[in-house]
Amino acid sequence: MKCYTLMVLGTLLLIIPVSAAVKPYVKLETNEGDIVIELYENDAPNTVANFLNYVNSGFYDGLIYHRVIENFMIQAGAYDAFLYDADFSGSFDPFDEAFYHVPNDPIELETDADLENVRGTVAMARTTDPDSATSQFFINHKDNPHLDPNGTNDGYAVFGEVTEDSLDVVDTIAEVDIWDNANVKLYFEALPIESQRVTIGRAGVVLPEFGDDSADLSDVSYIMARPGDMRVFHGQDGLEDCSYRVVYSQETLLGVPCLKIEQASAQDCNQPDSILYVARSIENDLWTDDLWVFKEVQDANTLFEAEELNQITPFSEYPLILTRLASDNFDDDTIINREIDDTIVTSEIIRLDVSIDELDDPNDDLVQVKRTFGPTDVNPDWSYYHESVGLVLDLWDGSLEEDQIDYAGDGWVLGEVEEMDDVFVKVRADKDRDNPMDKFDVRGDHELTKDDFDKGDLYLRVTPWQITIDTSGLESGGFIDEDTFEYNSPPEDVSDISIKIDLSKGTFEAFGKDVDLTGMDEPVRVDLVVGNYHAAAEAELKGQNNIPILLLRGEKNVLRKKTYRHINKSVGNDSVKVKGEIATFGYPLDLTTMDITVTWGDTSPDSYTLSGGEMKKANNKQKYTNIVTAGGLKQAVFDMEKGTFDIYIKESGLSTEIPKILTIQIDEITELKDVKNEVVTTITETLFDEELTVRFF
pLDDT in tens, 34-54: 899 999 988 898 999 899 888
Per-residue model confidence as pLDDT tens digits over 205-242: 665 665 555 555 554 544 445 566 677 766 655 556 66
pLDDT of res. 155: 92
Q: Which residues pair with 395 in a beta bridge?
A: none
Q: Worst-scoring range by mean pLDDT, 69-73, 299-303, 444-448, 534-538?
A: 299-303
pLDDT in tens, 474-521: 665 688 889 999 999 988 889 999 999 999 999 999 999 999 999 898
Q: Look over the chain and give the mean of its residue pLDDT values, rounded to a whole number.
A: 75
| pLDDT value of position 241 | 64
Closest CA to 118 of 155, 158, 61: 158
Q: Is the pLDDT of residue 355 over 90?
A: no
pLDDT at 405 over 60: no
The confidence score (pLDDT) of residue 9 equals 20
pLDDT given for residue 165 in this prediction: 86
Residue 476: predicted pLDDT: 57
DSSP state of 454: G
Q: What are the Cα distances from residue 339, in Å, to 303, 344, 373?
A: 10, 4, 9
Please report, rounded to a whole number, the percentage of residues in the chain having pLDDT higher than 90: 26
Residues 199-206: what's their mean pLDDT?
75
How many whole angstroms separate alpha carbon 209 and alpha carbon 194? Answer: 37
| d(C-alpha 381, C-alpha 522), whole Å | 42
Burial label, 424 (beta-carbon count in 10 A; 0-12, 13-18, 19+):
middle
The pLDDT confidence band at residue 22, using thresholds 50, 70 and 90, is very low
The residue-averaged pLDDT of 556-581 equals 80
Cα–Cα distance for residue pair 24/18, rounded to 1 Å: 7
pLDDT at 666 over 80: yes
Q: Write the CB contacts of 232 (distance below 8 Å, at least 6 apart in sequence).
A: 243, 244, 245, 246, 414, 415, 417, 529, 532, 534
- What is the biggest distance separating any 2 CA atoms in the chain, rounded to whole angstroms? 96
- Condensed to tens digits (0 to 9), the pLDDT of residues 115-135 reads 999 999 999 999 999 999 999
| Predicted confidence band of residue 11 (pLDDT cuts 50, 70, 90) | very low
Q: What is the pLDDT of residue 13?
A: 27
pTM for the model: 0.56
Least confidently predicted of 116-130, 329-343, 370-384, 571-585 = 370-384
According to DSSP, the β-strands at 458-462 and 573-583 are unpaired
Is the CA virtual torsion 172, 174, 177, 183 positive or negative? positive
Q: What single-letter amino acid sits at 570?
A: S
Res 634 pLDDT > 90: no
Q: How far apart are CA 526 and CA 523, in angstroms?
A: 10
